[in-house]
Amino acid sequence: MKRMDSADFLVATAPARTQCGAVCWRMHRGHIEVLLITSRDTGRWVIPKGWPIDGLDLAASAEREAWEEAGVRGHLLADPIGLYGYDKALGPTASVPCAVSVYALRVAELAPKFPERKQRRRKWFSAAKASRKVAEPDLRALFQSLAEAPDRLGAPVAPD
């Protein structure tokens, strides 16, 4: 059994750190689609998310992350639609547990130029397929619930 040093112990016993994220969505041919992006480090499919930004609440921070990471502008719900947890890698052997408050953002514009465009890919998926693409079990469950009850997105889901 590997002995834990004090830094490992602090990370292992630390309470979850708060992050915020956005489920960017649109109506396409009468069905909900969500936009996933790739993470910068591993290339796995994720939603835009990050640390809270000084001077902004969690919802506005999620909206800013959606712009910076995915080039999305749109209409954001002020209240979260869900929460999921994951372990954020801080290095090869350290991580910190994070709790991500998730906000729905109906996409009005998908810009061709945005801050992280050279570091990420973005792709539209049905909510059901998105649930199979993400690694985090709670995020997977959130997408499955959106596939079954798209009205959770908080806006009329009539076709565009």
CA distance 86 to 100: 8
Which positions ≥6 away from 5 have C-beta within 8 Å?
Answer: none
Per-residue pLDDT, 41: 84
The residue ranking higher by pLDDT, 154 or 115, is 115
Handedness of CA 156, 114, 133, 103 (dihedral sign): negative
Per-residue pLDDT, 157: 52
Please write the tens of the pLDDT for every residue from 94-153: 889 999 999 999 999 999 999 999 999 999 999 999 999 999 999 999 999 999 888 888
Looking at the chain, the whole-number percentage of residues with pLDDT higher than 90 is 71
Q: Please list the residues that pair with 97 across neighbouring strands.
A: 87
User: Does residue 80 have a pLDDT over 60?
Assistant: yes
- Average of pLDDT values for 53-64? 97
Domains (range + CATH), the chain: 6-151 (3.90.79.10)
Per-residue pLDDT, 122: 98
